Amino acid sequence: MTLVCSAQQPGHDHDKDGYDRGIVSPVTSVTVRVPAKLNLQLAVGPARDDGYHDLVTVFHAVSLFDEVTVAPADRDSVVVTGEGAGDVPADASNLAARAAAALLRVVGPGAADAPGLAIRIIKRIPVAAGLAGGSANAAATLVGCNELWRTGLRPQDLRELASGIGSDVAFALLGGSAIGTGRGERVTPALASGTFHWVLAFATGGLSTSDVYAACDRIRASRGLTVPEPALDNAIMAALRSGDPAALGPLLSNDLQQAAISLRPELRRALAAGRELGALGAMVSGSGPTCAFLARNLGHAQKLAAALTGAGVCRGVASVAGPVPGACVTADATEQA
């Protein structure tokens, strides 16, 4: 698994045997790009004693990216710009700030060579949209600070830290397609062929993940349903391996979909519109309210995106592709000697 895209840290002088000879220019900032996720299957088990639900999910990272830059500073700060920035806390409660604090607790305050950390987040992933944007920002911050502070932590160390921050953070580190179990925090890479093209339809306003899980529990209780343990749909895994969108489309499933629709009935209209316009599959993404539509190919996705915009069933659309890699360093700035 490749956690960081850059094979070598700029500023470090490596011999061809890979050993660091100690000629180091201080890194002054690190920028990390991190994708949104879809759940191609989201099977939700009964509520656990800790309030969470055991899941079996098939994660799929798509090409809608946030960008996080971390830099040493005199004091801590979080600046958020872009899509839904006003709804993101710009203080220590921000998931990105919590990720940096968690990493610093593990490596010790001496790892940072400045008293504070400046975190700048450029958002394209809508907030509270079922696309794990907050988790993505936390994952990007872990990768960025790991590079900035040269902690030497391994990918599995970061994944362990990630699971304490949020259920989707470990997957945002990994990217690609993966099976998630436990709360979603235990991730195993899954095989996929080719590229799938999707249209995301964004709703006005967000949905609280815990509200959607609570609605799911209420619906199940009102029907007196015995909730089975969640299980992986092997047909979805085979469709992913085949790379055939026509095989994958009808198999998409989300146990939270009904709950999300119960809280936002207008989603039913958006899903129906996408199906009528020729989507191979239509689903609410995670806890919603974003809807995801599978297209035959890029051209079909672009047509579908235009038609959904025209249908007036959503606030905006994006044509994206998956799978894409998880959190990747895209730029290091180093102090000029």
What is the smallest separation between the CB atom of 62 and ligand C5P, expressed in angstroms? 18
What is the smallest separation between the CB atom of 280 and ligand C5P, expressed in angstroms? 28
- Applying the rule CB under 6 A, the residues between 148 and 167 that interact with ligand C5P are 166-167
Nearer to ligand C5P, 83 or 168 (CB): 168
**C-beta separation of 283 from 253 below 8 A:** yes
Contacts with ligand C5P by CB under 6 A: the residue count is: 12
Catalytic one of 15, 17, 20, 37: 37
**C-beta separation of 172 from 165 below 8 A:** no
What is the smallest separation between the CB atom of 197 and ligand C5P, expressed in angstroms? 27
What is the smallest separation between the CB atom of 94 and ligand C5P, expressed in angstroms? 13
Nearer to ligand C5P, 149 or 213 (CB): 213
Sole window of 48-56, 64-72, 221-229, 255-263 interacting with ligand C5P (rule: CB under 6 A): 48-56
247 binds ligand C5P (CB under 6 A): no
Catalytic one of 66, 123, 168, 255: 168
Angle value at C-alpha 65, between 302 and 273, nearest 5 degrees: 35
210 binds ligand C5P (CB under 6 A): yes
Nearer to ligand C5P, 196 or 213 (CB): 213
Q: What is the DSSP letter of 325?
A: B
Sole window of 6-14, 32-40, 50-58, 104-112 interacting with ligand C5P (rule: CB under 6 A): 50-58
Sole window of 10-18, 113-121, 205-213, 263-271 interacting with ligand C5P (rule: CB under 6 A): 205-213
> In whole angstroms, what is the distance from residue 130 CA to residue 80 CA?
19
53 binds ligand C5P (CB under 6 A): yes
- Dihedral sign for Cα atoms in the order 83, 60, 217, 161: negative
Closest CA to 130 of 30, 230, 200: 200
Nearer to ligand C5P, 183 or 197 (CB): 183
249 binds ligand C5P (CB under 6 A): no
Structure tokens at 89: 């806390």
For the chain, the 3-state helix, strand and coil shares in percent, each to the nearest 5, are 35, 30, 35
**C-beta separation of 86 from 128 below 8 A:** no
**C-beta separation of 39 from 163 below 8 A:** no
Beta strand 177-181 pairing with 116-123: unpaired
Q: Among residues 209, 254, 285, 290, which is the contact residue for ligand C5P, using CB under 6 A?
A: 209
168 catalytic? Reply is yes
Nearer to ligand C5P, 51 or 110 (CB): 51
What is the phi/psi pair of residue 187, to 5°?
A: -120, 140
**C-beta separation of 151 from 158 below 8 A:** no
171 binds ligand C5P (CB under 6 A): no
37 catalytic? Reply is yes
> In whole angstroms, what is the distance from residue 287 CA to residue 169 CA?
15
Nearer to ligand C5P, 55 or 117 (CB): 55
Q: What is the DSSP letter of 136?
A: H
**Cα-based torsion angle of the residue sequence 90, 92, 93, 97 in order, rounded to the nearest 10 degrees:** 90
- Active site positions, annotated: 37, 168
Q: Which chain residues interact with ligand C5P by CB under 6 A?
A: 51-53, 55, 166-168, 183-184, 209-210, 213
